[in-house]
Amino acid sequence: MLVRALLGLAVFTGAALAFPAAIHDDPAGGGSSVPELKRGASLDVACPKVEQVEADAVRVVMYPGRDDTSSGVAGVLVTERTIAPGVVHVRLPDIPDLRDHVVWVKVIYSGAGGNHFCDAGRIRLT
């Protein structure tokens, strides 16, 4: 059983991202804030009915914004994840090239009901 101390909960496009993080203004503008998480940290992404599909059918991906090519990373398939009713627990990979970059986090899963996407929004990796 994983135990986490959660200091906040942010809701992004129908999915929730739980984070023990500081919030910083997005330098790209727009006045929005982006949670800041350390590489190797854990986060939880709310995904309705994700427990109803096989674990192998669940994928977690992270990728920089389309304008961010400075990291040289196009995307990352996150392999450290566990599934519980309505939530995917994710450990963020320790990829030095993504330090101080904002990345999008999405969960993709498919089952008899078709393909489903849970958008956890953006996070800044430190």
Domain positions in the chain: 38-125
pLDDT at 47: 94
Sign of the CA dihedral running 27, 106, 16, 79:
negative
Q: Beta strand 15-19 with 87-91: parallel, antiparallel or unpaired? A: unpaired
pLDDT at 15: 38
CATH class of the domain whose range is 38-125: mainly beta
Q: What is the pTM of this model?
A: 0.72
Give the count of alpha carbons within 13 A of 47, CB side only.
30
User: What is the Cα–Cα distance from 76 to 79, expressed in whole angstroms?
Assistant: 9
Q: Average pLDDT, stretch 119-126?
A: 94
Sequence-separated (6 or more) residues with CB below 8 Å from residue 60:
45, 77, 78, 81, 88, 90, 105, 106, 107, 108
Distance of CA 88 to the CA centre of its chain: 9
Q: Is the pLDDT of residue 52 over 70?
A: yes
- Summarised one tens digit per residue, pLDDT across range 70-79 is 888 999 999 9
Q: How many CB atoms are located within 10 Å of the residue 106 CB?
A: 18
Contact between 14 and 119 under an 8 Å Cβ cutoff? The reply is: yes
